[in-house]
Amino acid sequence: MENMMLEIKNIKRVGSDTLESLFIEDGKIRGWNLSESASETIDGKGATVAPALIELHAHLREPGQEQKEDLASGLAAAAAGGYGTVVSMPNTSPVVDDPGIVTSLIQKADRLGFARLKPAAALTRGQKGETLADLAALKDAGAAMFTDDGRTNENANVLRRGMEYASGLGLLVSVHAEDATLRQDGVMNEGVVSQELGLPGNPAAAEAARVARDVEIALLTGARLHIQHLSTARALEIVRQGKKAGAPVTCEVCPHHLTLTDEALRGFDAMYKVAPPLRTQQDAEALFEGLLDGTVDCLATDHAPHTQAEKEKDMLEAPFGIPSIEVAFPLMYTRFVKTGKISLEKLLDLFTAGCARVMNWEVPSLEEGAVADVVLLDLENSKAVDPKSFKSKARFSPWAGDELYGWPVLTLVNGRVAFQG
Ligand SMILES: NC(=O)N[C@@H](CC(=O)O)C(=O)O
Ligand SMILES: [Zn+2]
Ligand SMILES: [Zn+2]
């Protein structure tokens, strides 16, 4: 039989300057610096190697909103962003509340050969927040988690029962934690800037109040709860206290909430309109502290593509969402590792092992026998963000033109090339 050994040569492990060779066979890591001969060799040209990134929160829009994104464009974009695994959100059209949709998404993604897809399914039928979906059947079809993201869970008892049911199945519930009755029709953070601009504000308290309620439900039930796209200092503090009290909660933070503030809205550009909204500098700094002290478990992008025409509408009309899956790692690396605020090891943990721990998945590694989900990162050369070159259909970006380091140059999924830059 033909020897299908892949060698990736001239690569560096994190924290080392030595050029080494990684050998991959049958989708698994075979070992380092072996004397065996490979059937295929890729020259890593001094790039740094890490386990492929894991995305717990992306909107891929299939089925039904393929004008914004589809599996092919979204998973190709993810692979270009260095991701080997993506959890897709179920707020599609129809909503992913039916096992048949989960199955067909997974089958389609497998055929594409980009990042691996782990679909999230809706917690409630039609994401209406009233009746639980058939969580057991959804899990059997391959659902990775349950969430009504895109909507908020207004009925606390429905959330409680859903968390209990999901916990019995060994899966977590993930929540978009904002109190809809406090959020009202706010299109940006409520504060000095919203007042100056005369735009309806969404107060930090909408998030903090909902996070407090949901942490209590986690304490009550002992069921795993994951809080999505945390954006405020107050909500983060509530999670910190909840964890101390033993609540089985985890949380994610998004690159846009760490690198942008409500000041960005001064140009009335709805590209910056996102839910939860961009907050204050103080909030962004508190979230960053949360990354350092472990209150924040992982980074997730909440990649939320819309058409350019939709995002060019005015602040009141445009849909919420910022696409970022292709720039998340370079953005975080350049802003926070290059400036010495966080170590590369810690940042990578937040993009990989931290996500796996949230999901109770095997922690990714580059040791013999591990699944060969691998990314090569160019930490030496910078490149400007060029949305026209995005694989995502959302070819615009708040970071367009920014010179960033840390671009992925190769992503392997199950030992196969999913992206090569
Ligand atoms: N985050 C957003 O602003 N938008 C998301 C929905 C969501 O994540 O709640 C979307 O689906 O576009
Ligand atoms: Zn959300
Ligand atoms: Zn989302």
Give pLDDT, residue 174: 98
Atom of ligand 1 nearest to the CA of 150: 9
Q: Are strands 201-202 and 407-413 parallel, antiparallel or unpaired?
A: unpaired
Residues labelled as active-site residues:
302
Is the pLDDT at 3 greater than 80, yes or no? no
Per CATH, domain 6-47+370-420 is 1.10.10.60:
no
Report pLDDT for 1: 47
Alpha carbon distance 53, 82 (integer Å):
6
Distance of CA 103 to the CA centre of its chain: 21
DSSP at 52:
P
Q: In which residue are the tokens 């209150």 written?
A: 295
pLDDT mean over 151-165: 98
Average pLDDT over residues 407-417: 98
Q: Is the pLDDT of residue 2 over 70?
A: no
Average pLDDT value for residue range 51-60: 99
Residue located nearest, by CA, to atom 4 of ligand 1:
321
Which superfamily does 52-359 belong to? Metal-dependent hydrolases (3.20.20.140)
Give percent above pLDDT 70 in the chain.
99
Instruction: Work out the average pLDDT over 346-373.
Output: 98
Taking only the tens place, the pLDDT of each residue in 75-121 is 999 999 999 999 999 999 999 999 999 999 999 999 999 999 999 99
Question: In the predicted model, what is the mean pLDDT of residues 142-167?
Answer: 98
Q: What pLDDT digit, counting tens, does each position of 130-151 carry?
A: 999 999 999 999 999 999 999 9
Does ipTM come in above 0.95? yes
Q: What is residue 392's predicted lDDT score, i.e. its pLDDT? A: 99
Report the alpha-carbon distance of residue 149 to residue 146 in Å, rounded.
9
Residue 18 has pLDDT above 80, yes or no: yes
**Whose C-alpha lies nearest to ligand 1, atom 7?**
150
Ligand nearest to the CA of 89: 3
Integer Cα distance of 409 and 12 in angstroms:
13
**Does 179 appear as a known binding residue?**
no
Distance 226 CA to ligand 3 centre (A): 13
297-331, pLDDT tens digit by residue?
A: 999 999 999 999 999 999 999 999 999 999 999 99
Report the atom number in ligand 1 closest to the C-alpha of 273: 3
Q: What's the mean pLDDT when you consider all of the chain?
A: 98
**Residue 417 Cα, ligand 1 centroid: separation in angstroms?**
30
Spatial distance between the Cα atoms of 337 and 50, rounded to a whole number of angstroms:
15
User: Which residues of the chain does CATH 3.20.20.140 include?
Assistant: 52-359
Q: Which atom of ligand 1 is nearest to the CA of 89?
A: 11
The Cα angle at residue 152 between residues 142 and 272, in degrees rounded to 5: 100
Residue 320 alpha carbon to ligand 2 centre in Å: 9
